[in-house]
Structure 1
């Protein structure tokens, strides 16, 4: 997707407390059932995981992990792992609320994709990424290059399960993505670092937030459109990625659910013809495409002769989401919450 490809390129609260605290306190603390790095051999290492068609062997809890995408970074920070991270990269948004202090402890290697050499300079013992393009040809480096150096890599299952990334675009899905892929990633990373209890706490908290946001919601008659970036040839969400999770959980319909492409580019005449009830707009801080910020997107929508007469534009029915909330990450839950709340505010759903 536009977020994933460099060349085209949460609040985590539980019962009023930050999940960062609920999952083990400060980044260096551990719950009673979490494994300690000093006891890695007696605690069940090495471990082997099946990950996107590969077997990944972890000989001990990582101490110098590098996260190459914001999605994996925010999971690690939410698990209280800042003190075991040597670097992060590829940011589209400010870090999730509640994670600012933990994030400040970790070196930012680059705002976008770092060079392979810069990653190696951190002497990583584990590398994780959210997108296949990051750990593929044209990205930071293929996984095989890290393999040769004995550095295990991990790719978010949400970007490989039932997804074809072989084309030049942002991939296409053969079946709809669900939050189970994200929850599975949380559990995988928690297991890799030996903090399984924190992983289960995080998953439980995310599920509780989804349930609360969608309880009693009736949005059967509401149509949505998700615009990620680019005003000339906009990237819009197809049926089955993270926006699909949001749409299905709130019971609405995406006007481009006939496309299995992750982020198809569609002309504005077609968009205006489908005339969605609500526009869900990416509010990005990166600077790779035109109309990255929500303000720029809205300025375009309200001035362009093709778009300004759309129902959602005339009624100013906009929902602003971070890029991370529009990708398959733990912040997809934030997307569910904000879209559900907006539909209630606009009196489009009970």
Structure 2
């Protein structure tokens, strides 16, 4: 859902991210597609069909979405940032001090003028829509002012964003797309070693979370928001990364839309074993919080007899864990822990 993108708050962070303080794009299958070129001073990226050239490491960066913000914070770049925006969840555990150092320009999409007031020398966003028509501003608007504008490659690789919704995936997104973004931003800011260290930490967490799990007989459903016209995850975005990590099945694997709206009768007919639900802090849709979602599920005549509802097999994820961000790894950890608790692992 959401062009402003999935919003949800964090629930049980199994293992926190390492905040890196040392010195120092991707395609849908995972290989880095945002190849960096140039000298140590200048970096050129082929990024979502645009050429992004950064002449020197940014000193006054603005991140327009929480996903890119938390990557920058995790790379120890708070002192090189002058603004953040579009927050859907509380900041990731371990990054509170970094967050406190950087001005929050807006909780949602800021105006172009408010971003320019921060006098940025680099802007980054998690979604094509943020730096497109109807978003904060287009990349061209920033670039005309000499401000390089970067978009997370996970939102464009193997994906069609030309429609009115959240786009459709031509190919399943791979976790390496997220690692590619980390490496891109580390390259831009001249902190390559920090990027590799963060990637290695996330890879180790993924390996640990998925060890010994076989959920090939388990079906999952991902509900992001809205009780009237619910947004459910299609096959191939960040929830697909989580599902494939255990060999499980998403009951809506037959749709390539990122977050299609699906009626409850269809949901009940698919009858998933486990419900993975967004625990959002925003208030722009109905049933944003996990509490509201569960209240709906257990009282609605169409949903209350679903297997997952009767057995209370709920997994609560933050919005960022259901987006392609470093917190998708957190989502893998949380779903793994729940599958073990429910006795559904092989």
Which range, TM-score by smaller chain? over 0.9
Match of 1:132 among 128, 131, 141: 128
Map 1:65-214 onto structure 2 (within 5 A): 65-214=61-210
What's the TM-score, normalizing by structure 2? 0.92
> Match for residue 317 of structure 2?
321
8 Å contact kept, 1:3–1:323: no
How far, CA to CA, are the matches of 1:174 and 1:263 in structure 2?
Answer: 14
Query: In the alignment, what sits opposite 2:285?
Result: 289
Q: Does the aligned pair in 2 maintain the 1:3–1:92 contact within 8 Å?
A: no
Structure 2 residue corresponding to 1:225, chosen from 203, 221, 227: 221
| Structure 2 residues without counterparts, runs of 5 or longer | 25-37
Q: Distance in 1 between matches of 2:248 and 2:40?
A: 45
Bigger RCO (CA 8 Å, 6+ sep): 2
CA contact (8 A) 1:255 1:276 kept: yes
Q: Report the counterpart of residue 271 of structure 2 in structure 1.
A: 275
Offset at 1:221?
0.3
Contact 1:5–1:133, Cα closer than 8 Å, also in 2: no
- The answer on 1:310 being equivalent to 2:306 is yes
Q: Counterpart of 1:133 in 2: which secondary structure? A: helix
**How far off is 1:78 after superposition?**
0.1
Per the alignment, do residues 176 and 326 of structure 1 end up closer, same or farther by CA in structure 2, a change over 3 Å counting? Answer: same
Deviation track 1:268-292 (CA, whole Å, cap 9, x = no partner) reads 0000001000000000111111111
Does the 8 Å CA contact 1:95/1:103 hold for their aligned counterparts?
A: yes
What is the CA-CA distance between 1:13 and the residue it aligns to?
5.2
Aligned match of 1:27: none
For 1:100 and 1:269, locate their aligned partners in 2 and report how far apart those are by CA, in whole Å.
42
Structure 1 distance, partners of 2:195, 2:165, is: 33
Measure the CA separation in 1 of the matches of 2:15 and 2:249: 28
Shift of 1:4: 3.0
Distance 1:252 1:330 in 2: 21
Q: Aligned with 2:131: secondary structure?
A: coil
Name the counterpart of 1:37: none
Matches within 5 A, 1:326-345: 326-345=322-341
- The counterpart of 1:298, out of the listed 294, 301, 317, is 294
Aligned residue in 2 for 1:54: 50
Q: Is the 8 A contact 2:169 2:258 kept in 1?
A: yes
The alignment yields a C-alpha RMSD, in angstroms, of 1.5
Q: Secondary structure at the match of 2:239?
A: helix
Contact 2:40–2:190 at 8 Å: present in 1 too?
A: no
User: What's the TM-score once normalised by structure 1's chain length?
Assistant: 0.91
